[in-house]
Amino acid sequence: MIVTLKHNSRNYTIDLSKPLDISIALHGGDKNVNAWYLPPPKIEPHTEDGFVGKVTEGASTNFNDVWFNPHSHVTHTECLGHITEGFHSINQKLKKFFFLAEVVTVAPEQEGDDFVISEKQLKYALGNKKREAVVIRTLPNTKEKRSRNYSDTNPPYLLEEAVNFLVKKGVEHLLIDLPSVDKERDGGALLCHNAFWNIKGKPREKATITELIYVPNKVKDGTYFLNLQVAPFENDASPSRPVLYKIEEK
């Protein structure tokens, strides 16, 4: 299905029959992606008073209970409520779902014992492009990202200067294939989260951060339309399914 979207006075053509899903699905068990020191998610038949919610166990339906944490176990999108004292819901803050996005690939650079993404790298990758959303794929980019346990591994992260650069460029939606934009153990500073949502100034209430994505290697760097949908959870974060659409040549 070919559609034309009008965005900032320009028309863009996309093919809705060719989605590029960059989310990681939720599975029960230890082969699921994980972070933040939690046990694996669980998807199990509900049991109660002799009832087992599984057709093969005699039930009329499969009736599963699901236990997970969106920040730890699945691609998720979060709003400023993730770090504020006051409650903010991603379901209330994200009201638009299509954005002009740029996919960039970055190899984190070593800085002491850490691997980081700097302002210089993002400047090189983005140039003068103005985008509502930026999708960051890090190298190496292996399928293991879909099942890795990141807990206590000190994954790569963004430097505060890099996030400040994105904010100055007007980026409202930041997507990355890591468990956090910040360092795993930073004493609670959360420099990049605070900078992206401008917590110390006028908060950027419509801005979102999406973590634990996976961008397949077949998706080339460049400009796409992003459809960013979240499950309607009244929570600071929700499982999400970001989908890219290639802009068709005229």
Task: Kindly state whether residues 16 and 34 are assigned to the same domain.
Answer: no
| Residue where one domain finishes, among candidates 69, 102, 128 | 69
In this structure, is the dihedral angle defined by the CA atoms of residues 137, 141, 143 and 147, taken in order, positive or negative?
Answer: negative
pLDDT band at 89 (very low <50, low <70, confident <90, very high): very high
- For the four alpha carbons of 154, 40, 175 and 187, in that order, the dihedral sign comes to negative
Query: What is the number of other CB atoms lying within 10 angstroms of the CB of residue 147?
Result: 14
Q: Which of 51, 69, 87 is the last residue of a domain?
A: 69
Same domain, 121 and 151: yes
SS3 63: coil
Is residue 242 reached through a cis peptide bond, with omega within 30 degrees of 0 on the bond before it? no
Mark whether 206 and 167 lie in a shared domain: yes
Percent of the chain with pLDDT over 90: 94
pLDDT digits (tens, 9 = 90+) for 153-184: 999 999 999 999 999 999 999 999 999 999 99
This prediction's pTM: 0.96
Residue numbers of the domain that contains 184: 2-25+74-246
* Cβ pair 178, 156 in contact under 8 A: yes
Pairing mode, strands 109-111 and 114-117: antiparallel
Q: What is the CATH number of the domain that holds 139?
A: 3.50.30.50
Q: How confident is the model over 126-150, as pLDDT tens digits?
A: 999 999 999 999 999 999 999 999 9
C-alpha–C-alpha distance, residues 115 and 62, integer Å: 44
Residues 49 and 128 both lie in one domain: no
Are 123 and 49 in the same domain? no
Q: Rounded CA gap, 100 and 152, in Å?
A: 35
Whether residue 236 sits in one domain with residue 122: yes
- Confidence (pLDDT) at 32: 98
Answer yes or no: is pLDDT of 62 > 90.
Answer: yes
Asked if the model's pLDDT at residue 71 lies above 90, the reply is yes
Same domain, 147 and 55: no
Rounded Cα–Cα distance for residues 210 and 25 (Å): 14
Same domain, 13 and 40: no
User: Are residue 219 and residue 157 in the same domain, yes or no?
Assistant: yes
The answer on 53 and 126 residing in a single domain is: no
Region for residue 220 given its phi and psi (left: phi exceeds 0; alpha: psi -120 to 50; beta: otherwise): beta
Counted domains in the chain: 2
Question: Are residues 11 and 58 both part of a single domain?
Answer: no
In this structure, the answer to whether residues 64 and 170 fall within a common structural domain is no
Distances (CA, A) of 121 to 116, 199, 221: 10, 25, 14
